[in-house]
Structure 1
Amino acid sequence: MSHAVFLHAAADARFAPFNLREGAPGEALLDVAAVGLCGSDLHYYKDGGIGSAVISSPFVPGHEFSGWLTEDVPELGLARGALVAVDPNQACGRCEHCREGHPNLCPDVVFIGAPPHDGAMTERIWVPKSQVVAVPQRFTPSQAVMLEPLGVAIHAVDLARPRLLERVAVLGCGPIGLLILQVLRTVGAGEVLACDPQPHRRALALELGADRAGASVADIAEWTKGEGAPLVVEATNAPEGFRDAVRAARIGGRMVLVGIPDGDSYVVPASEARRRGLTIRFSRRMGHVYPRAIELVAQGKVDVDAVVSHRFTLAEGPEAFRRHAANEPGMVKSLIFPQGLDRG
């Protein structure tokens, strides 16, 4: 009997037996090597849903994952036992948004690990072969998992389009924010000013390339002598994140909002954004960025391992949710290893 972590409702995560469904044509079966606890998983745990994606019955979360193939997949040139990553976003490929190159915005998407679709916080999972991503076999399961959040960071920086040596403010030094600031360094951004209320995350931001790291946007105002940054990337989970991004931005500046706010609502004074004449973009998931994510890790230009702070067994999954929801000191990014920590 397999087991999985189920989310039943807000603040209700359980480790329980799981009946693996039958595979469908065009699918591959994976032994799940590792799975990340993402900020969106945490929103399901804290709020019971994100917008229209609401927990109506118990489901298995987990959309950031890697696994070992249980059989050969000759059409992909992959053999049994190969470590692979998985793109969790199965867009329809037919709608106007998909045809225009925006599969991340497809309204008919089937997304692994978003209710009602079970995810990878279990021991085995069937996935479409079209979503299997080959990775260098020297990669660890952890590195293969982190390609998905790195892809989110790459997509956000693509939207931001930082100019050469341009000052950038990054709000939120959680996993996505820390990956974004590393990607910014690879594309020639100038001074990177980071902001996070938690000291351990600020310290990590400095280690990973931020020039300065402060506790609030007041620090950014001080460092820029009240002018603000021409480009702001927001990656917090706070309803005030939008407001803080506005206050960190220079008149005529640009903003990209990446974070999902607790409670699914933003707090922002309209006049402050309007009077600055800001250009604002919202980032959702990613496009076709896995090849670049793989290269950034393979070439050592982004350190995904440094972002991972905690590792748990599958049975410890509910505890991982509880500790992140409690915002315990030291927590940054947690990975869960369904086959045991010794195989991670």
Structure 2
Amino acid sequence: MADAVTSIVFTGKDQVELRTGPALRPGPGEFTVRLTASLVSAGTEGICLGRLFEPGTHWDQWVSYPFSPGYSAVGTVEAVGDDVHRVRVGDRVAVRSPHASVVVVGAEDDAHLVPDGISDEEAVWFHLATIAQVGVRRAEHRLGDTVAVLGLGPVGQLAAQYARISGAAEVFAVDLSAHRTRLAVDNGAHTGLTCSAAEAREAVVRATGEGVDVVYDVTGAAPVFSEALRMTRKFGTVVVLGDTGTPGAQTLASELIVNGLTVVGAHDMHGAFRASPQARWSNQRMGELFFRYLARGEMNTASLNSHVFTPGEAEEAYRLVRARPSDLSGLVFDWTAL
């Protein structure tokens, strides 16, 4: 079947398959995109594949098998349906889509034209970049803030870069992986701490004398939350950007009340599809800003791509996600290899 669609599917807990389906054709208001690359969100997809979540959580409601993972991809518009005006055949676009060779993009779906000069390997980070932006905007940074980013997976790496761009005087990048810490420092973080959150708390408080203005918990690890609270200065802010599968295991620390801390949650779905006077920064505008930063060399995502797999190597790729996630910074599927 020449036009068959190949996709990566989780068929059960820790079960990954490459499946083939019928060709896709766009309907009115839709267009199809042939992917060149898709980015694995290792934390999210690892939780989904291993069912590493508590019953009754939003994860439990979301993940049912067969499950199509992935939500950040780039490719070329292959066909357009009636009443499609925002793209043309041949345009390079970044889209929110699962890992598949061809996807259909609807009228209400995010799609971003990729500017010339930005490679597919850079652009494929766009959706994780908008997720990180949601968190950074919730932090409401002020010039000269001190910041700690706990967890330097894909979203943590981006949060550290955004914090620097936002005028942070000091960005502490914290992870158990020396590889990830080194990457964050190479991309602009001021201090790398390869240690646990508890050990980082001691180092950060010692360096600042009071704790930092803003802490990003991007680990998705429930025990880290209380350490994030203890690392924050009086009247500071903790942004929970890592979505744990076990929220029942997160515990508060007395510093929350005693120090008058602000805790905010930031999630993928908080971005608006269309901008308005009340919600100026839509997903579309956040994506455009990300591309602007890339084009000006103010952000770097190419260096974050630590692993590239063909779709046929999906089982091997997800074994790495489940067994050695700390080895990863960015894992990309190359769909041109089909």
Q: Please point out which of 279, 282, 288 is paired with 2:265.
A: 282
Question: What residue number does 2:276 align with?
Answer: none
Q: Please point out which of 85, 90, 115 is paired with 1:81.
A: 90
Task: Please tell me whether residue 41 in structure 1 is matched to residue 45 in structure 2.
Answer: yes
Question: What residue number does 2:279 align with?
Answer: none
Distance 1:48 1:228, change over 3 A: closer
CA contact (8 A) 2:34 2:102 kept: yes
Q: Map of 1:1-344 to 2, 5 A cutoff?
A: 1-20=4-23, 22-38=25-41, 39-47=43-51, 50-71=58-79, 75-76=84-85, 78-86=87-95, 88=96, 119-130=97-108, 131-214=110-193, 215-217=195-197, 218-225=199-206, 227-285=210-268, 286-287=270-271, 288=282, 289-327=286-324, 330-340=327-337
CA contact (8 A) 2:148 2:214 kept: yes
CA contact (8 A) 1:29 1:70 kept: yes
Q: Secondary structure at the match of 2:33?
A: strand
Structure 1 stretches of at least 4 aligned residues deviating more than 6 Å after TM superposition = none
Report how many residues are paired: 310
Percent of pairs identical after alignment?
26
Q: State the AA in 1 paired with 2:45.
A: D
Q: State the AA in 2 paired with 1:25.
A: P
CA contact (8 A) 1:20 1:125 kept: no
Q: State the AA in 2 paired with 1:294.
A: F
Q: Secondary structure at the match of 1:302?
A: coil
How far off its partner does 1:65 sit? 0.7
2:266 & 2:141 partners in 1: Cα distance? 15
CA contact (8 A) 1:254 1:279 kept: yes
Q: State the AA in 2 paired with 1:304.
A: T
Q: State the AA in 2 paired with 1:258.
A: L
How far off its partner does 1:21 sit? 5.0
Question: What residue number does 1:92 align with?
Answer: none
Distance 1:211 1:220, change over 3 A: farther
Q: State the AA in 1 paired with 2:69.
A: P
Distance 1:124 1:269, change over 3 A: same
Distance 1:162 1:76, change over 3 A: same
How far off its partner does 1:253 sit? 1.4
Distance 1:326 1:339, change over 3 A: same
1:150 & 1:76 partners in 2: Cα distance? 25
Show CA shifts across 1:314-341 (max 9, x none): 1112221110111255321101122218
Q: Secondary structure at the match of 1:239?
A: coil
CA contact (8 A) 2:215 2:238 kept: yes
Show CA shifts across 1:274-326 (max 9, x none): 32321000001152111211211111111011211111111112221110111
CA contact (8 A) 1:175 1:332 kept: yes
CA contact (8 A) 1:242 1:266 kept: no
How far off its partner does 1:138 sit? 2.7
Q: State the AA in 2 paired with 1:40.
A: T
1:329 & 1:249 partners in 2: Cα distance? 25
How far off its partner does 1:40 sit? 1.8
Q: Secondary structure at the match of 1:35?
A: strand
Q: State the AA in 1 paired with 2:196.
A: S
Q: State the AA in 2 paired with 1:297.
A: L
CA contact (8 A) 2:24 2:102 kept: no
CA contact (8 A) 1:33 1:338 kept: yes
CA contact (8 A) 1:82 1:137 kept: no
Q: Which runs of 5+ in 1 are unaligned?
A: 89-118
CA contact (8 A) 1:5 1:318 kept: no
Distance 1:329 1:216, change over 3 A: closer
Show CA shifts across 1:69-107 (max 9, x none): 113688545432221012x3xxxxxxxxxxxxxxxxxxx
Show CA shifts across 1:20-54 (max 9, x none): 45533211011011111113222211226752434
CA contact (8 A) 2:204 2:212 kept: no
Question: What residue number does 1:115 align with?
Answer: none
1:224 & 1:291 partners in 2: Cα distance? 36
1:329 & 1:260 partners in 2: Cα distance? 17
Give the TM-score taking structure 1 as reference length: 0.83
Q: Secondary structure at the match of 1:53?
A: helix
Q: Secondary structure at the match of 1:81?
A: coil
CA contact (8 A) 1:9 1:48 kept: no
